[in-house]
Amino acid sequence: MSTPRTVRDRIRDEVTREIIDVARAHLAIEGAAALSLRSIARDLEMAPSALYRYFSSRDALLSALILGAYESLADGAEAASGATAATPGRPSERWAAVPRAMRAWALDRPQEWGLIFGSPVPGYQAPEETVVPYTRLAAALVAPLVECQADGTLRPPAVQSPESSPTHRDALAASLQPVAEALLPDLPTATVALALQSFTTLIGVISLEVFGHWRNTVLQPDVFFEETIGNLAASVGLCP
């Protein structure tokens, strides 16, 4: 049931994977815009029309690549999270595991990082199913935070935001309700905001490096990255 039964089905799965592998290699070299069914078919020594047995259009193939990128990134994050949870250390050390895995993944597959966090192609809609791996990624990132909260070892936010009118607080809580509910139940709104802000910073710091903005600016990106994720751990209230 789970593995296909007939030879035909097995070959079909194999060829599908081959197509995606070649497509991903092309993506890495030429970028998403230049991805072409014909050139993929050429590499596979197939007729271009044969690809239509596997993907109904170029966009369908691109969607598969996008979804695959999300899943691969989420897998990497979860693996790192699982490994660090198995050998417990200081919370701020464990916090670092997922960011490091995300950065390593992004440096390894910059075009796919761009597919997820870069500018979207206008008129093209990312597949809905990306919500699932996206949530897995976020959950892996905040896992140490949730555990410390359960322990009671989480500190209150060190920096108090100056924007503290009650209306602002209410609006913020309402704004972040989906995040709080899905990932960080029972945490104070300010902490939820700081956790989301940490995610934001992480995406920013990785994107800026991967997209080439650190050239002549940040000479050793890894050092700045470590400093940044250390700061994030502290800001969010993880004990060192």
Partner DNA sequence: TGTACATCAGTGAACGCGCGTTCACTGATGTAC
**Which residues of the shown chain bind a second copy in the complex (CB under 8 A)?**
29-34, 92, 110-111, 113-115, 117-123, 158-163, 168, 171-172, 174-179, 193-194, 196-197, 200-205, 207-208, 211-213, 216-221, 223-224, 226-228, 230-231, 233-235, 240
Could you give the CA distance from residue 145 to residue 139 in angstroms, rounded to a whole number?
A: 10
Q: Taking Cα atoms as reference points, which of 124, 103, 82 lies closest to residue 228?
A: 103
Nearer of residues 56 and 161 to DNA, judged by Cβ: 56
**What's the one-letter identity of residue 36?**
S
**What's the one-letter identity of residue 197?**
Q
Q: Which of 54, 134, 214, 224 binds DNA (CB under 7 A)?
A: 54
Q: Residue 168 binds which one of DNA, a second copy, none, with CB within 5 to 8 A depending on kind?
A: a second copy
**CB proximity list for 86: less than 8 A, separation 6 or greater:** none
- Provide the minimum distance between the beta carbon of 31 and DNA in the complex, in angstroms, as a whole number: 13
> Is residue 124 part of the contact set for DNA (CB under 7 A)?
no
**Alpha-carbon radius of gyration of the chain:** 21
> Is residue 32 part of the contact set for DNA (CB under 7 A)?
no
> Is residue 141 part of the contact set for DNA (CB under 7 A)?
no
In a 3-state reduction of DSSP, which class is residue 110? helix
Q: Which of 2, 3, 6, 87 binds DNA (CB under 7 A)?
A: 6
What the block records as the tokens of 198 is: 């940490």
- Provide the minimum distance between the beta carbon of 139 and DNA in the complex, in angstroms, as a whole number: 35
Using an 8 Å Cβ cutoff, are 22 and 36 in contact?
no
Q: Which of 17, 21, 28, 57 binds DNA (CB under 7 A)?
A: 57
Using an 8 Å Cβ cutoff, are 158 and 235 in contact?
yes
User: What Å distances lie between residue 37 and 19, 49, 66, 105, 143, CA to CA?
Assistant: 10, 9, 16, 26, 40
> Is residue 17 part of the contact set for DNA (CB under 7 A)?
no
Q: Residue 6 binds which one of a second copy, DNA, none, with CB within 5 to 8 A depending on kind?
A: DNA
Q: Which of 58, 100, 169, 203 binds DNA (CB under 7 A)?
A: 58
Q: Residue 87 binds which one of DNA, a second copy, none, with CB within 5 to 8 A depending on kind?
A: none
Q: What are phi and psi of 89, to 5 degrees?
A: -140, -160
Could you give the CA distance from residue 205 to residue 180 in angstroms, rounded to a whole number?
A: 23
Q: Where along the sequence are the contacts to DNA (CB under 7 A)?
A: 5-9, 11-12, 15, 35-39, 45-50, 52-54, 57-59
